């Protein structure tokens, strides 16, 4: 009898241990709910030899694809969140059920704030976009969506000290380089109304209405030029919303929260042009709105809930999530809106926008200037020139690249991106044998020696 019980126990134990593998054909994992790419199945041979990392890579693949993983993850998450701990490195469990995205922590604590030099270079980039567009009669508006922790710091865990100085967005707007929509001040004024989802990185329908109204007013120029959303309209709650942060914690059977459903019934005037699958599409176009303005909106996911209102307001709107900023056809619009969430501001210093450079004044050559390297490649119907100098001044406010071909010299404004002393610009064409010199103006003026451009 005892032997039989032991055999049964061993069989059950083996069945439990093997259950994950047995369930794999019936429980496909795709990583969508966790917003990440799962580990691929490793190759046994790599470069004609045995892949010595195969055991470790196979373990990673098995961990990501084992059957029942999402159910176990959700159960484990419920146990940990009950004591205020997050099992997901990207999700912070805050107070009273609020969740926060870890990537917003540097803005919240100030420890990862833009340096003074980065702030000035970013302001320079935005000013040069503004000036280039203005030269073609196009207006430029910056709209920074606040991180949830900026509007609701009281729900962040005490383990994260709140910086007592202005954040990146506030510091950038204080420089006054470009026209902006001050969403942060507006939302802070109405923060007692609950403007963000507790389990999501984004604002809810009410927060979106406040943001859309402010943006439409800034673009249209007056309040009555286009249909305006009313954040105070009658509404009801429907408990059917699962936030992106909630989904990251609970891949299955995620808890739902209230979604605001407004009942003012504003009719849809616009229509989509071309193919539109979801609001997450890289490019979306609409036409048929009220005001006869053509708008290009460079945006991220915070604009998903604004698209209906903005499209209703303007006769033609193109939305794009491309990076670098696709401004090569900006001259076809009346207004360009750059909407970006606060935590992503630093990304604007990675690459220059796709926009032909504006002419600049020539500057004297300096054969004793700092060293530099410059490269070029064909891009977007022109030639991209980029590189870096050996040293750049602090707090850059201007960057100019001078191109020399024989006895011909031309100068263009460049974007101070790609590093502390980096530069980048797009011009229509470039002849072989060209040399370039770079001048940065900031706390001082730094000019490079003329160097040959290396074509890739």
Q: Which CATH number describes the domain made up of 372-455?
A: 2.60.40.10
The whole-number average pLDDT for the span 131-156 is 97
Rounded to whole angstroms, the Cα distance separating 202 from 371 reads 45
Q: Across all residues in the chain, what is the average pLDDT?
A: 88
* Residue ranges covered by each domain of the chain: 95-349, 372-455
At 69, is the pLDDT very low, low, confident or very high (cuts 50, 70, 90)? Answer: low
| pTM reported for the whole predicted model | 0.84
pLDDT at 413: 98
Q: DSSP string covering 316-340, please?
A: EEEEE--SS-B-TTGGG-SEEEEEE
At 319, is the pLDDT very low, low, confident or very high (cuts 50, 70, 90)? Answer: very high
Tell me which range, 41-50, 88-97, 321-330, is most confidently predicted by mean pLDDT: 321-330
The whole-number average pLDDT for the span 77-101 is 77
Model confidence at 62: pLDDT above 60: no
At 76, is the pLDDT very low, low, confident or very high (cuts 50, 70, 90)? Answer: very low
Q: How do 422-427 and 408-413 pair as beta strands?
A: unpaired
pLDDT at 102: 94
Do 246 and 199 contact (CB within 8 A), yes or no?
Answer: yes
Rounded to whole angstroms, the Cα distance separating 32 from 38 reads 9
More confident residue, 323 or 72: 323
Residue found by looking up tokens 């210093």 in the block: 349
More confident residue, 165 or 55: 165
Residue pLDDT, tens place only, 341-394:
999 999 999 999 999 999 999 999 899 999 999 999 999 899 999 999 999 999
| % of the chain exceeding 90 in pLDDT | 73
């Amino acid at each position: 009898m005892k032997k039989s019980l032991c055999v049964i126990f061993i069989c059950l134990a083996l069945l439990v241990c093997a259950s994950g593998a047995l369930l794999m054909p019936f429980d496909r994992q795709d990583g969508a709910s966790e917003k990440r790419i799962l580990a691929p199945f490793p190759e046994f041979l790599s470069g004609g030899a045995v892949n010595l990392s195969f055991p470790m890579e196979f373990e990673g693949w098995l961990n990501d694809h084992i059957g029942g993983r999402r159910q176990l993850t959700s159960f484990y998450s419920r146990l940990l969140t009950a004591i205020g701990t997050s099992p997901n490195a990207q999700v912070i469990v805050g107070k009273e059920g609020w969740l926060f995205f870890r990537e917003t922590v540097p803005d919240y604590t100030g420890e990862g704030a833009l340096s003074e030099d980065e702030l000035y270079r970013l302001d320079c980039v935005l000013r040069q976009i503004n000036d280039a567009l203005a030269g073609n009669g196009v207006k430029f508006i910056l709209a920074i969506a606040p991180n949830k922790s900026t509007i609701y710091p009281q729900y962040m865990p005490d383990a994260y000290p709140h910086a007592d100085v202005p954040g990146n967005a506030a510091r950038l707007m204080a420089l006054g380089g470009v026209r902006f929509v001050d969403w942060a001040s507006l939302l802070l004024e109405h923060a007692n109304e609950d403007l963000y989802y507790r389990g999501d990185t984004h604002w809810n329908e009410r927060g979106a209405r406040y943001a859309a109204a402010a943006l439409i007013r800034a673009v249209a120029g007056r309040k009555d030029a286009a249909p305006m959303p009313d954040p105070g309209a009658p509404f009801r709650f429907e408990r059917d919303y699962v936030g992106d942060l909630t989904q990251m914690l609970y891949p299955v059977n995620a808890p739902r929260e209230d979604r605001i459903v407004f009942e003012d019934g504003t009719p849809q005037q616009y229509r989509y042009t071309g193919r539109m699958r979801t609001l997450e599409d890289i490019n979306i176009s609409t036409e048929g709105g009220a005001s006869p303005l053509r708008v290009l909106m460079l945006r991220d996911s915070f604009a998903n809930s604004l698209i209906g209102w903005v499209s209703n307001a303007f006769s033609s709107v193109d939305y794009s999530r491309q990076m670098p900023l696709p401004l090569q056809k900006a001259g076809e619009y009346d207004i360009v809106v750059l909407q970006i969430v606060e935590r992503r501001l630093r990304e604007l210093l990675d690459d220059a926008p796709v926009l032909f450079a504006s002419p600049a004044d020539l500057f004297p050559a300096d054969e004793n200037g700092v060293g530099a390297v410059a490269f070029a490649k064909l891009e977007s119907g022109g030639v991209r020139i980029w590189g870096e100098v050996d040293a750049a001044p602090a707090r850059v406010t201007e960057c100019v690249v001078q191109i020399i071909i024989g006895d011909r010299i031309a100068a263009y404004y460049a974007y101070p991106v790609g590093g502390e002393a980096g530069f980048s610009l797009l011009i229509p064409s470039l002849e072989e044998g060209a040399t370039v010199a770079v001048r940065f103006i900031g706390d001082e003026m730094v000019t490079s020696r003329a160097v040959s451009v290396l074509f890739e």
